[in-house]
Amino acid sequence: MRDRYLGSTSTWRLLSAGLVAFTFIVVPSWGQQQSSASKEQQQPSTSASKDQEKDKEDNRVVRTFGTEKGYRTELVSETAGRLTQEDQRQLSLLMIDVLEHLDKGRIALDADETKDALKEVNKGLEGTQAIRKMLPKTTVRTKTMGPDGKPIFEDELVDQNDSIPLYAGILHARTLAPIVEARRNALAVAGVQVVESERVITEALAKLDPIEAQLTKAAKALGENKSEVATKALAMALVRGLDFRYTKEDSELISARDALWFAKRALEENNVTQAAANLNVAHQRMVLYREVLPNDQRRDVDAVLREVEQMQGQLRQERTQPTATAATRADRTRQGQTVTQWWDKVNTWFRRHL
């Protein structure tokens, strides 16, 4: 991969094609404390939060700490923006694009093509800036007042959740492999030695802050003709900006998720036979996964299994009575959307191991 600069794009594009919808919710963290009518609780408290309110419309949270006649600190947090599921899909696709340009920049540096490397780095930075604009921002304002009511400290911080989960729809050599290989090479460049096991990667998590910081450092170094510094910065972007999560226990789910992806693709191509075959595999794997779950955790799996069985019946009928039950393009679209929903659901079942 490192010696094929011009041919590196297709492999990374295959990863972006295999992205599955992920879910991460950016909301203000808040709780609620109820007051009591007792006289003791009506007295000024010397610890914890006394007052708290939340405006659901503008995502505004107010917390007040301290006592009425003593020192009081007010924390006000406001979140601007909200991510839809489609926005979340776009974030993953954009981050894959950033990683692609980052890796191509490293390859160009290996070939002493500094101009090409700078072009790739700058394009990667454009991608991170686009991601920044899409991510919600939370502003936290802190104000502490003395017993006389005058402020003695004020501060304002703006925070963004910079973690971008990258779920791969198909876990084989042409999906997460480019990221894994690029990070492995980067570890070697950065002088980090690791002992790898045979665990299965179920998730890649990209961290925007370190990736953006190292891309900025690389761009500056290239502008100053410091190729070695740029090479190290791009390597550190992959080392610090990517985190893999592993599991040995969810191999059945991995197979089910892969099969659902192939079933969706087959439906898009109107290949009923292939779609049915992959749904059968997904169903079998989910049944096996269900057997290892406690009884109180089987409900969601049972619901998906019933829906899969219903679609299996529809496809079976299409094959046995093709003229009478021929599906329209709209039917195929609905079926594909349904499989995507199962795909999303399976991803929520994975055990996360940080």
Residues 228, 129 share a domain: yes
Note the pTM of the prediction, 2 decimals. 0.54
Beta strands in the chain (DSSP E): 49-55, 60-66, 72-80, 137-145, 151-159, 163-166, 200-207, 242-247
The DSSP-derived string for 322-347 is TTTTPPPHHHHHHHHHHHHHHHHHHH
> The tokens of 51 are what?
């007052």
Please give the average per-residue pLDDT across 16-38, as a whole number: 36
pLDDT in the model for residue 268: 84
> What are the beta bridge partners of residue 185?
none
150 compared with 34, residue with greater pLDDT: 150
> The tokens of 224 are what?
């100053």
Residues 295, 242 share a domain: no
pLDDT interval class at 177 (50, 70, 90): low
Residues 215, 76 share a domain: no
pLDDT in the model for residue 114: 94
185 compared with 177, residue with greater pLDDT: 185
pLDDT interval class at 143 (50, 70, 90): very high
The widest CA-to-CA distance across the chain, in whole angstroms, is 85
Looking at the predicted structure, is the pLDDT value of residue 331 above 70?
A: yes
pLDDT in the model for residue 24: 35
37 compared with 61, residue with greater pLDDT: 61
Residues 311, 179 share a domain: no
Amino acid at 286: M
> What are the beta bridge partners of residue 145?
72, 151
pLDDT in the model for residue 29: 31
Residues 240, 126 share a domain: yes
The tens digit of pLDDT for each residue in 250-265 reads: 667 878 888 898 898 8
The tens digit of pLDDT for each residue in 216-251 reads: 999 999 999 999 999 999 988 988 888 776 555 566
The tens digit of pLDDT for each residue in 290-321 reads: 887 888 888 989 999 999 999 999 898 888 88
Compute the mean pLDDT over every residue in the chain, rounded to the nearest whole number: 76
Please give the average per-residue pLDDT across 27-38, as a whole number: 34
1 compared with 8, residue with greater pLDDT: 8
Q: What is the 8-class DSSP label of residue 170? A: S
Domain that residue 70 falls in: 48-84+139-159
Q: Examine residue 32 and state whether it is found in any structural domain, yes or no.
A: no
Looking at the predicted structure, is the pLDDT value of residue 61 above 90?
A: no
Residues 188, 209 share a domain: yes
Please give the average per-residue pLDDT across 261-273, as a whole number: 87
Residues 241, 102 share a domain: yes
Q: How many domains are contained in the chain?
A: 3
SS3 246: strand
pLDDT in the model for residue 33: 34
| Rounded distance between C-alpha atoms, residue 254 and residue 281, angstroms | 11
